[in-house]
Chain A
Amino acid sequence: MAHRNEEEGSIGTSMHGVTAKEHVFSFSDQGEDAWSSHSVQSDDPTAKFALPVDSEHKAKVFKPFSFAKPHMRAFHLGWISFFTCFISTFAAAPLVPIIRDNLNLTKTDIGNAGVASVSGAIFSRLAMGAVCDLLGARYGTAFLLMLSAPAVFSMSFVADAGGYLSVRFMIGFCLATFVSCSYWTSVMFTGKIIGLVNGCAGGWGDMGGGVTQLLMPMVFHVIKVAGATPFTAWRIAFFVPGFLQVIMGILVLTLGQDLPDGNLSTLQKKGDVSKDKLTKVFWYALRNYRTYVLFILYGFSMGIEMTINNVISEYFFDRFQLKLHTAGMIAASFGMANFFARPIGGFASDMSARFFGMRGRLWTLWILQTSGGLFCVWLGRATSLPIAILAMMLFSFGVQAACGAIYGVVPFVSRRSLGIISGLTGAGGNFGSGVTQLAFFSSSRFHTADGLSLMGITSMIVTLLVAFIHFPQWGSMFLGPTSDGRKSKEEHYYAAEWTEEEKLKGLHEGSLKFAENSRSERGKKAAPDGTSTPLENENPADV
């Protein structure tokens, strides 16, 4: 009965909680109301959650104005940590006109440092998935924040191009907070709303790349006015992102919680959560071809976004003869569009899944990323400031919404290796950024404007790879699900990641729970008379 209610209200369900007018289910003893009774298998009768939860104790609604333990709190701590790291990684970019004079940098030096700033995270994002699987999202995040803060502070020592490059490289490692953040939200929120939740977390975190373009010139200006000479003022300015990182690290450790049911170390010692083998988790991620496709796709959405964070301020400063803070303001608008662009991408992904299932998600992704590439080409061609700004804003929307849409797909590629795949996709973003900066913005061979257009064209070509993502149970952009009765079940896809002996030990229980919850990816199958019917195969006995 409760389940039927859910289906009828389903168009609005994903938005439940966003308006903050929804009924809040505060700590009820047995969770016995109509909302949650269907899903909470009272294997843990002491479960008390502020939000309605599913069988894995993941929240089923998203309330961005709430800080309730553990779900919403994890969300806020996660995205703010990621936001802080974005500020630090791209803090140098708006100050480059000053730094290049202080350190006597050439265009090649600046380009190489830009590549270095995003390269470190390729490896840290790869490792991060495993770290989160093993240590929990809290320590993953805190390690990154508090161990890369020294790198931020060490900008005060930099004296030449080599030092500048090394420090930017070391700061860049902290971009792996993206993985810990999306890992944290993926364990806290259920599949139906994960697109929106990850879109918000990722988008608001990515905003840091925009905020830094405003923040750093402002801090620099204030320090200069206070009496410091420019070549010292920019160094002092770097203490601000450094402080932010340390403070966030402490907050994450004191206020956060790894899993809906508690902290990882406590749960593991109690025997509630089994430790998985790293090699197995990695192997199943590498065996899945979708991992590689997502790696490349993200490289040309997030990768391009990060490249733009590094080059756009200098581009506007030089090409349109603007003041430092004016160029910073325009560059900031690019990154700030993330506030709504990426969540909209995630939401669009969820909405299209509601009607068309996984196929909807894939088409949404393709449309958004291709239009992003198109507007990037236009940005490079624009010779007047208003047109350039218009093109940039449209470009920012397309490419950032595409990022949100990709992470609407990622949680469904694997259950066992979610952490690693999340990390690999994220690493792909950094890889793409490094490659695009190296190819288009590191030499004096062509103007930055041409580099932008070429990057846009390359992106449009690469995005065609979306057509190759195929799920046997749900289909792909052009093909339907497989007709084989056994293989077209979600359980078969997710259980295939476990060997027979592991299944005998019951280690795949989590995957089966997830498979049941993922049936929403079939979309609505409209009946001939136009009314929608509830999803087929809703047989709890399967589990």
Chain B
Amino acid sequence: MAIHQMLFASLLICLLFQISHGATKERLFSDLEKGALEVTAKPSRGGVLDAGIDKLSITWKLSSTATKEAEFTTIKVKLCYAPVSQVDRPWRKTENELFKDKSCPHKIITRPYDKSPQSFEYTLERDIPTGTYFVRAYAVDAKDHEVAFGQSTDEAKSTNLFSVQAISGRHKSLDIASVCFSVFSVLALLVFFVNEKRKAKLEQSK
């Protein structure tokens, strides 16, 4: 019986956590102020950029149309997937509920809010996947809630996009080690097999 009570209590506690957490769950992307920041992201060269090598020149400044400027404490700049990179990939889906949204998983830089125009030279990280991207900057208040944002592309996310090619992750040394161990495995098996056949023949001839 004690076990039943404990299980029930722990279940109840977990449910309570869910409910209290729910208070922050309703923050929606559509509630944020659009275009509060003017963001540009300029690739270091044309064509497809290489992760780990190429850079982005990112600038952001307060837009003249912004109204919630008083609340801005921090600016979080993130790399986001363009719609074409979200097709058939539900783990990159855009959701209106901010905590569920997975379209901007890669952090670029976080800086305290400054009235003057800011810029940052970002080298694409080596764990950025292959895809098409844009840059978005969220303005966050003192409670760490997003209040506004600006992005380097238009609302339909169709202009000013850039493509990135990921690193392959392969290495020559890895390839060689792989071949060596594979050969060892097959050879060891053959040696055992042939040996045993020989022994069985010897037994039979006795």
| Residues of A bordering B, CB below 8 Å | 97, 100-102, 104, 106-108, 139, 142-143, 146-147, 149-150, 153-154, 156-157, 159, 229-232, 234-236, 239, 242-243, 245-246, 249-250, 253, 263, 265-266, 269-270, 314, 318, 321, 384-386, 444, 447
Q: Which of B27-35, B58-66, B113-121, B172-180 contacts A (4 or more CB under 8 A)?
A: B172-180
Assess whether B174 is in contact with A156, with CB atoms less than 8 Å apart. Answer: yes
> Is B11 positioned at the interface, with any CB of A under 8 Å from its CB?
yes
Q: How far, in angstroms, from A230 to B197 measured CA to CA in the complex?
A: 46
**Which residues on B are within 8 Å of A, measured CB to CB?**
10-11, 14-15, 18, 87-91, 99-100, 126-127, 129-131, 166-171, 174-175, 177-179, 181-186, 188-189, 192-193, 196-197, 200-201, 203-204
Q: Which residue of the partner chain A has the closest CB to B87?
A: A106
Q: Is the CB of B130 within 8 A of A104?
A: yes
Which of the listed residues A100, A139, A149, A231 has the most CB atoms from chain B within 10 Å of its own CB?
A: A231
Q: CB < 8 Å: which of B174, B185, B193, B203 contacts A236? A: B174
Q: List 19 contacting pairs A-B, 8 Å CB cutoff, sorted by A.
A: A100-B129, A101-B166, A102-B129, A142-B189, A146-B186, A146-B189, A150-B183, A159-B168, A230-B127, A230-B169, A231-B166, A231-B167, A232-B171, A236-B174, A246-B185, A249-B188, A321-B99, A384-B14, A386-B15
Q: Is the CB of B181 within 8 A of A239?
A: yes
10 smallest beta-carbon distances between A and B, as pairs = A231-B169, A150-B182, A101-B129, A106-B88, A146-B189, A153-B178, A149-B185, A269-B204, A265-B200, A104-B130
Contact (Cβ within 8 A) A253 B192: yes
Q: Which residue in chain A gives the minimum CB-CB distance to B174? A: A156
Main secondary structure of the interface of B (DSSP, over half): helix
Main secondary structure of the interface of A (DSSP, over half): helix
Residue of A nearest to B171 (CB): A232
On whether the beta carbons of B129 and A234 are closer than 8 Å, the reply is no
Interfacial chain B residues near A232, Cβ < 8 Å:
169-171, 174
Which chain A residue lies CB-closest to B191?
Answer: A253
The answer to whether B169 touches A249, judged by C-beta atoms less than 8 angstroms apart, is no
Question: Chain A residues near B186 (CB, 8 Å)?
Answer: 146-147, 150
Q: Which of B18, B175, B197 contacts A384 (CB 8 A)?
A: B18
Residues of B within 8 A of A231 (CB): 126-127, 166-169
Q: Which residues from chain A contact B193 at a C-beta distance below 8 Å?
A: 139
Residues of A within 8 A of B197 (CB): 265
B200 with A266: CB separation less than 8 A: yes
Contacts of A314 in B (CB 8 A): 91
The reply to whether B184 and A246 form a contact with Cβ atoms under 8 Å apart is yes
Alpha-carbon gap, A448 to B189, bound state (A): 42
Nearest CB to that of A385 among chain B residues?
Answer: B14
Smallest Cβ-Cβ distance to B125: which chain A residue = A229
Determine if A149 and B90 form an interchain contact, defined as CB atoms under 8 angstroms apart.
no
For residue B192, which residues in chain A have a CB less than 8 angstroms away from its CB? 142, 250, 253
Q: Specify which of A97, A146, A245 is in contact with B91 (CB 8 Å cutoff).
A: A97
A147 touches B189 (CB 8 A): yes
Residue of A nearest to B99 (CB): A321
Q: Which residues of B contact A242 (CB under 8 A)?
A: 181
Residues of A with C-beta under 8 A to B129: 100-102, 104
Residues on A with C-beta less than 8 A from B201 are: 269
CA distance A150 to B188 in the complex (A): 12
Least CB distance from A116 to B in Å reads 18
Instruction: Give the complex CA separation of A104 and B193 in angstroms.
Output: 42
A107 near B178: Cβ-Cβ < 8 Å: no
The residue that B15 contacts in the complex, of A142, A234, A236, A384, with Cβ under 8 A, is: A384
Note all chain B residues with C-beta closer than 8 A to A318.
90-91
Residue on A nearest B85 in the bound complex, by CB: A104
- CB–CB A156/B204 < 8 A: no
In the bound complex, do residue A153 and residue B181 qualify as a contact, i.e. CB atoms below 8 Å apart? yes
| Min distance, Cβ A41 to any Cβ of chain B, angstroms | 25
Considering residues B91, B175, B193, which has the most beta carbons from chain A within 10 angstroms of its beta carbon?
B91
